[in-house]
């Protein structure tokens, strides 16, 4: 990291004695001034709340403490306790991943496609896996209810982290107290491990998703599946993430758990085969999965196509709503501006909801799902109209230790 020029430090000190300490994490004067202003506003807010309870707060000492913590690299969102996610203010705490603007852009664009969708069921069921702060279910509810009054949402967020589930429920309760909250449908959060195969013996620890859905009396079928899973490979974690991310945000939410006999790429891709299997099992009509970059997006898109249940698959960039000509790579449309950030899959009724067309020839939907499920039982994936095949990083034998099986005959 380049050193900060002495002249800039002197200029910052002349403006405010606290400002030089914020130059290191912010890297420029304008950003440092903004952060100092937000920290001061936060201190004033805390002092006001303390006075309402009859307490006294030393504002200068608190501001000094916060500036020191920020200078050490602690994310501003953890110090302020909140972050904007779309039009919502979402609570943030150490131990739970901070919501990102890229994720909000994808969710807002997805809901924008659903605003004028035809034939949406009166109860639209949305499953968010690896929910973290609960920001995705809460933004979906906020955005869709702002546009439609003819749909009730049933939204379920799932996470393995107890800290995340506590925060997601707290965020829900706080938003419910707001004047703009629409009290319709259901928003709930449950604990489950999405990586656990529901057909294996489970003696202790977190439940599989299937077991948790049954235990909590949740529906077995969902219309839309969304997930921002851990997707950073072990080497990319050290090479591409910021020091503040490595030092303060939970690695559990960033890097898939270590598993023997996987290379670095396979480790980073670990969640996607399971997420797509879940999408098949819950009969999701729309699937939106966040990814790290275009290389990972293409691997996930290929696997979704090989699964043989989707009418179409495309890749979204950081700004999917940008009006630019779509790029094509490996026969997948890449939509919007910026870096590749999400993979969108659709099938059946979801094709109509999104205003899409069937880009992959398909057989009868029920037969297609049955064939994909049958293939899962034997440990493979079938191309539409083709033979059993899996790319190396999505080989279930490599991922779960399943034995080799003969190629399925149609």
- Answer yes or no: is pLDDT of 110 > 70: yes
Residues 49 and 124 occupy one common structural domain: no
Q: Read off the pLDDT of residues 188-218 as tens digits, 9 standing for 90 and up.
A: 999 999 999 887 766 677 899 999 999 999 9
Residues 316 and 352 occupy one common structural domain: yes
Domain end position, chosen among 41, 72, 103 = 72
Q: Is 353 helix (H, G, I), strand (E, B) or coil?
A: helix
The H or E element spanning position 290 is strand 286-290
Say how far apart CA 66 and CA 249 lie, in whole Å: 17
Say how far apart CA 306 and CA 23 lie, in whole Å: 49
- Answer yes or no: is pLDDT of 358 > 80: no
Residues 370 and 351 occupy one common structural domain: yes
The closest of 161, 105, 102, 108 to 133, measured between CA atoms, is 161
Total tally of structural domains belonging to the chain: 2
* 51 vs 130, residue with greater confidence: 130
Residues 21 and 122 occupy one common structural domain: no
How many H helices and E strands in the chain? 17, 11
Listed in sequence order, the residues at least 6 apart from 337 whose beta carbon sits closer than 8 Å to its beta carbon are 317, 318, 319, 322, 324
Please, how many CA atoms are within 13 Å of residue 234, restricted to the half-sphere of its CB? 9
Query: Which pairing describes strands 286-290 and 224-227: parallel, antiparallel, or unpaired?
Result: parallel
Which residue is listed with tokens 């307490």? Answer: 55
pLDDT of residue 402: 37
Range from 54-63, 72-81, 238-247 carrying the lowest mean pLDDT: 54-63
pLDDT of residue 390: 40
pLDDT of residue 378: 46
The closest of 248, 317, 290 to 129, measured between CA atoms, is 290
Q: Read off the pLDDT of residues 364-400 as tens digits, 9 standing for 90 and up.
A: 665 566 556 655 544 554 444 443 344 444 444 443 3
Residues 209 and 312 occupy one common structural domain: yes
Residue 78 inside a domain? The answer is no
Which residue is listed with tokens 């950073």? Answer: 232
DSSP string, 110-170: HHHHHTT-SS--SEEEEEEES-TTTHHHHHHHHHHHHH-SS-EEEEEEEES-HHHHHHHHH
Residue 23 inside a domain? The answer is yes
Question: Which residues, in sequence order, are bridge partners of residue 186?
Answer: 154
Asked if residues 221 and 283 have their Cβ atoms less than 8 Å apart, the reply is yes
Residues 39 and 159 occupy one common structural domain: no
Residues 61 and 199 occupy one common structural domain: no
The closest of 292, 294, 285 to 270, measured between CA atoms, is 292
* 236 vs 375, residue with greater confidence: 236
Q: Please state the rounded mean pLDDT for residues 107-130.
A: 94
CB atoms within 10 A of CB 69: 16
Residue 406 inside a domain? The answer is no
Average pLDDT over the chain reads 88
**In the chain, % of residues over pLDDT 90:** 75
Listed in sequence order, the residues at least 6 apart from 272 whose beta carbon sits closer than 8 Å to its beta carbon are 229, 231, 289, 299, 300, 303, 394
Residues 46 and 100 occupy one common structural domain: no
Domain end position, chosen among 72, 106, 129 = 72
pLDDT of residue 393: 42
CA dist 89 → 12, 152, 373 (Å): 30, 23, 40
Say how far apart CA 108 and CA 130 lie, in whole Å: 18
Q: Please state the rounded mean pLDDT for residues 79-105.
A: 97
The closest of 185, 230, 188, 231 to 212, measured between CA atoms, is 188
Which residue is listed with tokens 């664009």? Answer: 109
Listed in sequence order, the residues at least 6 apart from 214 whose beta carbon sits closer than 8 Å to its beta carbon are none
In angstroms, the first-to-last Cα distance of the chain is 58
Q: Read off the pLDDT of residues 294-335 as tens digits, 9 standing for 90 and up.
A: 999 999 999 999 999 999 999 999 999 988 888 999 999 999
Residue 407 inside a domain? The answer is no
pLDDT of residue 398: 41
Please tell me the chain's helix, strand, coil percentages from 3-state DSSP, rounded to the nearest 5. Answer: 45, 15, 40
Residues 57 and 197 occupy one common structural domain: no
Q: Output the six-digit token pair for 190.
A: 């449950």
- Whichever domain contains 284, its CATH number is 3.40.50.150
Within its chain, how far is the Cα of 339 from the centroid?
A: 16
Q: Please state the rounded mean pLDDT for residues 29-58.
A: 93
- Alpha helix segments (H runs only) across 257-293: 264-268, 271-281
Residues 157 and 52 occupy one common structural domain: no
- Answer yes or no: is pLDDT of 38 > 50: yes
Asked if residues 318 and 337 have their Cβ atoms less than 8 Å apart, the reply is yes
Band of pLDDT at residue 259, cut at 50, 70 and 90: confident
CA dist 355 → 117, 280, 312, 349, 368 (Å): 7, 21, 12, 10, 22
Residue 181 inside a domain? The answer is yes
pLDDT of residue 1: 60
Residue 409 inside a domain? The answer is no
pLDDT of residue 103: 97
Residue 410 inside a domain? The answer is no
Residue 405 inside a domain? The answer is no
Q: Which long-range contacts (CB under 8 A, 24 or more apart) does 234-237 make?
A: 234/258, 234/264, 234/267, 234/268, 235/264, 236/264, 236/268, 236/292
pLDDT of residue 387: 39
Segments forming the whole domain that contains residue 286: 83-400
Residues 199 and 319 occupy one common structural domain: yes
Residues 381 and 293 occupy one common structural domain: yes
Q: Please state the rounded mean pLDDT for residues 138-145.
A: 96
- Answer yes or no: is pLDDT of 408 > 50: no
């Amino acid at each position: 990291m380049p050193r900060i020029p002495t002249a800039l430090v002197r200029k910052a000190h002349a403006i405010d004695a606290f400002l030089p300490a914020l130059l290191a994490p912010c890297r420029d004067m304008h950003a440092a001034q903004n952060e100092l202003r937000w920290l001061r506003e936060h201190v004033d807010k805390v002092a006001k709340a303390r006075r309402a309870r009859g307490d006294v707060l030393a504002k200068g000492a608190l501001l000094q403490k916060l500036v020191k913590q920020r200078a050490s690299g602690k994310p501003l969102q953890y110090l302020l306790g909140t972050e904007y996610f779309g039009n919502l203010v979402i609570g943030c705490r150490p131990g739970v991943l901070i919501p990102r603007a890229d994720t909000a852009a994808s969710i807002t664009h997805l809901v924008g496609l659903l605003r004028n969708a035809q034939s949406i069921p009166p109860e639209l069921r949305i499953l968010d896996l690896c929910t973290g702060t609960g920001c995705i279910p809460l933004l979906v509810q906020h955005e869709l209810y702002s546009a439609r009054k003819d749909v009730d949402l049933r939204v379920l967020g799932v996470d393995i982290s107890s800290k995340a589930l506590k925060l997601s429920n707290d965020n829900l309760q706080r938003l419910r107290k707001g004047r703009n909250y629409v009290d319709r449908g259901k928003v709930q959060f449950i604990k489950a491990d999405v990586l656990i195969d529901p057909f294996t013996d489970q003696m202790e620890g977190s439940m599989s998703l299937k077991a948790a859905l049954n235990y909590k009396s949740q529906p077995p079928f969902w219309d839309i599946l969304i997930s921002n899973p851990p997707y950073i490979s072990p080497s990319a974690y050290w090479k591409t993430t910021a020091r503040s991310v490595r030092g303060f945000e939970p690695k559990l939410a960033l890097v898939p758990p270590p598993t023997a006999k996987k290379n670095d790429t396979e480790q980073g891709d670990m969640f996607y085969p399971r997420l797509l299997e879940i999408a098949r099992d819950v009969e999701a009509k729309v699937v939106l999965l966040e990814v790290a970059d275009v290389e990972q997006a293409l691997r996930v898109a290929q696997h979704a196509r090989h699964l043989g249940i989707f009418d179409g698959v495309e890749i979204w960039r950081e700004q999917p709503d940008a009006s630019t000509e779509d790029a094509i790579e490996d026969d997948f449309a890449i939509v919007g501006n910026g870096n590749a950030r999400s993979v969108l899959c659709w099938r059946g009724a979801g094709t109509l909801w999104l205003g899409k067309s069937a880009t992959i020839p398909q057989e009868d939907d029920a037969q297609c799902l049955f064939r994909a499920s049958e293939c899962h039982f034997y440990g493979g994936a079938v191309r539409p109209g083709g033979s059993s095949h899996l790319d190396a990083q999505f080989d279930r034998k490599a991922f779960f230790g399943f034995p080799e099986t003969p190629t399925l005959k149609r």
